[in-house]
Amino acid sequence: MENCLFCKIAEKKIPSTAVYEDDDLYAFKDINPHAPVHLLVIPKQHFSTLSDCTLEDAPLLGKMLALAPRLAEEFGCAVRYDEQGRPAAGFKTVINSGPDGGQEVYHLHLHVIGGAHPWRGER
Ligand code: 5GP
Ligand code: ZN
C-alpha cells in the first residue's frame, strides 16, 4: 500500500525498533509510549482497520493476539502469579478502529502496553 506509514515501517523504508518479525507479522516499539512497555504488532499485509478484516483473517488476527503475551514475557510484563495464586504484573492489548475508536494510523495494529504504573495520564 503506497503512502502507508506502517507498510513503510514493515518494509524497513522508515526506521523503527523491531522487537519481532516473521513472514506475516512485524512488531516494533511505539515512538510515543504511554507506558514503560508500548509495542505495536502489525500484519505485513495491509488492512486499514479491523473493520476491513473478515472471518477468513481469523488465523492472522489470532497470531497477532497470541504474540502479545510472548512479547510481554520478553519485556517483563507478562501476567505472573504469586505464591497465593494471585495475579501480578500484566499488560493491555488494544486495537483502535476508526475515528470514534481513536485510530490515528490506518494500518491495522495491536498495541501491547504494560510495565509499572503510573502510565501516561495517570497520577
Ligand atoms: P492509533 O491511535 O492509530 O491506535 O495508534 C497509532 C500509534 O502509532 C500511536 O501510539 C503512535 O505513537 C504510533 N506511531 C505513529 N507514528 C509512528 C512512527 O513513525 N513510528 C512508531 N514506532 N510509532 C508510531
Ligand atoms: Zn499499510
Q: What is the pLDDT of residue 1?
A: 77
Q: What is the pLDDT of residue 2?
A: 83
> Domains of the chain by range and CATH?
5-118 (3.30.428.10)
Q: Residue 4 above 90 pLDDT?
A: yes
Q: Residue 44 above 80 pLDDT?
A: yes
- 40 CA to centre of ligand 1 in angstroms: 8
CB 16 within 8 A of CB 9: yes
Q: What is the pLDDT of residue 123?
A: 81
The 10s digit of each residue's pLDDT in 91-102 is: 999 999 999 999
Question: What's the pLDDT band for 49 if we cut at 50, 70, 90?
Answer: very high
Q: Is 96 exposed, middle or buried (0-12, 13-18, 19+ CB in 10 A)?
A: middle
Give the nearest ligand 1 atom to 106 CA.
3
Q: Is 95 in the pocket of ligand 1 (CB under 6 A)?
A: no
Residues near 18 by Cβ (< 8 Å), separated by ≥ 6?
Answer: 26, 27, 28
Q: Is 16 in the pocket of ligand 1 (CB under 6 A)?
A: yes
Task: Respond yes or no: is residue 107 known to be catalytic.
Answer: no
For a mutational test of ligand 1's pocket, the pick from 4, 12, 30, 93, i.e. the residue with the most ligand atoms closer than 8 A to its C-beta, is 30
Q: Residue 79 above 90 pLDDT?
A: yes
Question: What's the pLDDT band for 122 if we cut at 50, 70, 90?
Answer: very high
Give the residue whose CA is nearest to atom 17 of ligand 1: 31
**Sheet of strand 110-114: strand arrangement:** 18-21, 25-29, 37-43, 110-114, 91-94
Judged by DSSP in three states, 7 sits in helix
Which of residues 6 and 1 earns the better pLDDT score? Answer: 6
Q: Residue 35 above 80 pLDDT?
A: yes
Residue 89 falls in which region: left (phi positive, over 0), alpha (psi -120 to 50) or beta: left
The Cα 68–Cα 7 span in angstroms is 20
Q: What is the pTM of this model?
A: 0.97
Q: What is the pLDDT of residue 118?
A: 94
